[in-house]
Amino acid sequence: MRLISIITFALTLCYAHGNSQSSSCPRLPEKHEWKTARDYKRDEELVLRTLQWLNKTPLNEQLLTRSNANLFVMEWICGSPSVNISIETSALPFYELYPDLIFPYIHGIVQCRLTKNAGCNEQKAIINGFNTVAFMIRSDETLKKSKPLQPLIKAYKKGKMEEYVASLMNKNSDR
């Protein structure tokens, strides 16, 4: 009876551990080619699922897979006739010290736009970009200790990202 209890306990731990792991990146095609609007539309759902995975997977996890996924979505974004983004790096307080955070920012914006949520206007897309960056910062031991990133983290924790983004936009328009 004791052996059955031990085996049941061990299987339960394995099951719980397996379910607690983050989901895996969607399977990306080894070769992809986008020439027409139809080609981009064909892969839009795959790009969205990949963005969702990128946006919930910390920067320091699955580095090779993350790099390949980032390359795939960035190539798609750069050529997509349905996605148009403009970024003012002067309005991004993290850009000078941590330029690689531009990728999660772009991912957050594009994910919002691809969800086809009618409520995803320009401001909401930008807020989603900042929320994505804040999540990445909080999931990285080094970044979350960076003093210049503290106002962004604080806004994220307090659910005041809209006010934070508005203050950045006002500061940028005053220049």
Give the start-to-end residue ranges of the domains of the chain.
2-173
Nearest C-alpha neighbor of 82 from the set 47, 54, 108? 47
Measured between alpha carbons, how far is residue 63 from residues 77, 84, 90, 137, 165 in Å? 21, 27, 28, 16, 29
d(CA 71, CA 22): 20
User: pLDDT tens digit string along 43-93?
Assistant: 999 999 999 999 999 999 999 999 999 999 999 999 999 898 989 888 899
pTM of the predicted model, to two decimals?
A: 0.83
Residue 23: band (very low, low, confident or very high) from pLDDT cuts 50, 70, 90? confident
User: Which residues, including other chains, have CB under 8 Å from residue 32's CB and lie 6 or more apart?
Assistant: 43, 72, 75
What pLDDT was estimated at residue 65?
Answer: 96
